[in-house]
Amino acid sequence: MAPRSFWKGYLKLSLVTCPVAMTPAATESEKLRFHILNRNTGNRVVSQYVDSVSGAPVGEDDAVRGYPRGEDDYVLLEDDELDALSLDSTRTIDIGAFVAADSIDWIWFDKPHYLVPDDPIGVEAFCVIRDAMKATNTVGLSRLVMYRRERAVMVEPRDKGLVLWTLRFADEVRDPKVYLADIRAETPNAKALGLISKLIEERKSHWSPSMADDPVQDQLLDIISGKRNDRKPARGRKQAPASPGNVVNIMDALRKSINADKHGAKRR
């Protein structure tokens, strides 16, 4: 059964509108989370705001956001002032522009969400918008209030539905030229390139979600299970950090890598 949607609203393109529901495409619900306890009493430790000068606790009604404009000088912003900034785009994804599907670089993608029809009456309009983007190889751009901020969002067709990506803010994305432009350009050795390509071919496999498993979480679950059952859990062997060594000849290193892969494949 599909998870319950966390947002419901409308997808709009000019005069075409259809009700939609949205669900995050990724989840952290399976991630282990811990509480902080007082070792002496076993009680949970709670956090609270305290005044940095007096040390007195600050109540929820007295906590306010402040933007620093000088040393110990702040501009105060109330919650209702922040909430009033973007009320127009809380429930409607109004697609105002389309761009080529491959024109937005991956670094702008923030969080993915599945977008599906939320009413049988609107399915036809939903499918028309989806298939038109497929046919034109485009994605739609809009703005939407999500996670307490108005954000630029991108809508792209995916299988029978749509995927809505929140996009990073412009001041969050660093210019790659600052970091990559000074890398020295070299023409690779043809033999080395051939050996690297061979090594890649031998290690090529089909993507599987298991490749992104979390081994640390598995070991933590084993420790927790052992403590529940009063047994000593198996400890994972700590791997020594890889030593870079002194690679004198890249060709020798590549040949050794290929031979090691061949022997490993034979043993498997």
pLDDT band at 247 (very low <50, low <70, confident <90, very high): very low
At 240, list the tokens.
Answer: 């020594």
Distance, in Å, from the CA atom of 91 to the CA atom of 73, rounded to the nearest integer, reads: 37
Contact in structure between 12 and 89 (CB atoms under 8 Å):
no
Which residues are bridge partners to 76 per DSSP?
66
- What local confidence, expressed as pLDDT, does residue 85 receive? 64
187-205: average pLDDT:
86
102-128: average pLDDT:
94
- What local confidence, expressed as pLDDT, does residue 235 receive? 55
At 236, list the tokens.
Answer: 């994972």
Domains of the chain plus CATH, in order, are 7-30+84-172 (2.40.290.10), 186-201+249-263 (no CATH)
Q: What is the mean pLDDT of the chain?
A: 84
Distance, in Å, from the CA atom of 229 to the CA atom of 222, rounded to the nearest integer, reads: 11
For CA atoms 133, 134, 139, 144, give the dihedral sign: positive
Q: Express as a percent the part of the chain with pLDDT over 70.
A: 84
Contact in structure between 163 and 176 (CB atoms under 8 Å):
no
Distance, in Å, from the CA atom of 156 to the CA atom of 104, rounded to the nearest integer, reads: 11
b/e per residue 99-117 (b: at least 16 CB within 10 A): eeeeebeeebebbbbbbeb
Which candidate, 90, 97, 95, places its Cα nearest to that of 17? Answer: 95
Rounded to the nearest 5 percent, the helix, strand and coil shares of the chain are 35, 25, 40
Cα–Cα separations (whole angstroms), residue 79 to 7, 53, 85, 150, 247: 21, 24, 10, 15, 59
Model confidence pLDDT, tens digit, residues 64-99: 889 898 888 899 888 787 766 655 567 899 999 999
